[in-house]
A and B are shown apart, each in its own frame.
Chain A
């Protein structure tokens, strides 16, 4: 029962909120409380999983192996808690600065339902269903603001991601064709029997689907238009929470289900990862608006996750999880602080910029250092040097953005911007402090990522 709660709470709350006018104060507060309750349920579950190992439940009272299984393990729960945290931050930000459409809080909760479902299902097809629930909420959220521009970027987002979903569906169907199973553990066990090439095509399709979600180099074309077109809170949700599906999906499908294919495909992961880093950084340097710099920087940052996956092994996966955590926090902080005005807003943006650049003692340093460590251990000097170049480039573009935003004088005659409400600034400052905290006291984040990566070793 415990395991269903993190999915059920936001779902029920979302339905209730859909009937209310989200622009008012009370529904907004209710949505925040519901998300906090979801996080509490997920944390409670994580504590249980930590003590007694993964929790499983077969839905609908079917026999195990017949019904759809929900399975909570450390990897899934880490990503669930991370994404819920990002959603909570974005929702609180929007509620404090004034919600614009009545459906916003309900949509965020439906998104939370889909995300926790994706991270806690043990069934490949059910993964697709939750994935679609998340994406439908995300399509509508992207059009939030209801400007012509936002509507168009939402339509682009929907079209590209629907294509990705179709690829994913075909990938799942071909896995089913080869193995005759849909539960992840079963597929993993049967895939071992065949030559790795037998499911290479399925693996490729699934890789494309998640790459589209993450915005990795050749599949990135939708990303800048969407991230620059939407409002800051939605951009934070998309890059901090929805993109987690991509990194989690790659970890789950290639770490657990198709490990042999990951080994075969490692050069592809590596090349695409490096291409993403270089392409994203160079594009980000050449852009003028902060929005666009952040969008291209996301393309660059996800490249690091691919590299960690390509190196593989428990340490590689731990580095990937750690980087995904740090990257989510960074992106949430930067997108939320981008339009912030008034006292401390420059400080907050600088913390985010330092974190993306990977300067100690801010959190981003931790992610880059973890990756650096495993690359050095592998003695792969090409990767090591490219990580350094990538970090240096990210330092350049983040500070170009910072300079333009905070050091350039406002054009004369333009209205002086009113400072943002102090509650909003306090919220974003709290995220900034959290980012510094991750860097100064890295043990918790390291421990979490190691626990999450150990999931793969402990599988039946």
Chain B
């Protein structure tokens, strides 16, 4: 039984890790869900025991299965469910903002945005510098064409 648990956890965890490394937010989410389920299965493997349910009254001499493990697993399931729902919401917001869930594409877009911002800042400072020179150079530049015209 322990072997089966170990195998199941290993397969779930490995599949989760594989998905986690994909450059796609939905696959990453799938990976997270698989990994948290592997953790939940680990809780079960760590202390699940055979016996009847631990509900009062219990006849003396009867084996009772460990209720703590079950309640821990249930709590962890609820938490991972809630977190998965939240993650789906967040990924949807990312999709709405970028129209894409491809991690690489999004980081490309962001890098470009940062570049454009920096270029704009540079442009502004370059624009600002000749402005002053122009105020000095302008009269001459204006006079010259006049000279040609006359």
Contact = CB atoms under 8 A, between A and B. Distances in A.
Interface of A: 125, 129, 132, 136, 139-140, 143, 146-149, 151-152, 154-155, 158-159, 162-163, 165-167, 169-170, 173-174, 176-177, 180, 182, 411-414
Nearest to B131: A413
Contacts of B79: 129, 132
A125 B47 CA distance: 14
B110 interface: yes
B139 interface: no
A411 B94 contact: no
Contacts of A165: 36
Nearest to B13: A166
Query: What DSSP secondary structure best describes chain B's contact surface?
Result: helix
Contacts of B47: 173, 176-177, 180
B112 to A, nearest CB: 12
A136 B32 contact: no
A129 B87 CA distance: 18
A343 B4 CA distance: 67
Nearest to B101: A155
Given A169-B39, A173-B42, A162 B32 contact: yes
Interface of B: 20, 25, 28, 32, 35-36, 38-40, 42-43, 46-47, 68-69, 72, 75-76, 79, 82-83, 86-87, 90-91, 93-94, 97-98, 106-107, 109-110, 113, 121, 124-125, 127-129, 131
A158 B90 contact: yes
Given A166-B38, A411-B121, A412-B125, A152 B110 contact: yes
Contacts of A139: 86, 90
Contacts of B72: 125, 173, 176, 182
Contacts of B39: 166-167, 169-170, 173
A154 B42 contact: no
Contacts, number: 105
Contacts of B107: 152
Contacts of A166: 35-36, 38-39
Q: Which of A129, A136, A154, A173 has the most CB of B within 10 A?
A: A173
Given A151-B97, A154-B90, A176 B46 contact: yes
A180 B125 CA distance: 67
Contacts of A158: 83, 86-87, 90
A136 B83 contact: yes
Given A158-B90, A163-B32, A169-B76, 5 more contacts: A155-B87, A176-B47, A176-B72, A413-B131, A414-B121
20 contacts: A125-B72, A125-B75, A132-B79, A132-B83, A136-B82, A136-B83, A147-B97, A148-B98, A152-B110, A155-B90, A155-B91, A159-B20, A159-B28, A159-B87, A162-B32, A173-B42, A176-B47, A177-B47, A412-B125, A413-B125
Q: Which of B79, B110, B125 has the most CB of A within 10 A?
A: B79
A170 B38 CA distance: 9
A176 to B, nearest CB: 6
Q: Which of A147, A180, A412, A414 has the most CB of B within 10 A?
A: A412
Contacts of A140: 86
A151 B47 CA distance: 39
A200 B117 CA distance: 50
A115 B150 CA distance: 83
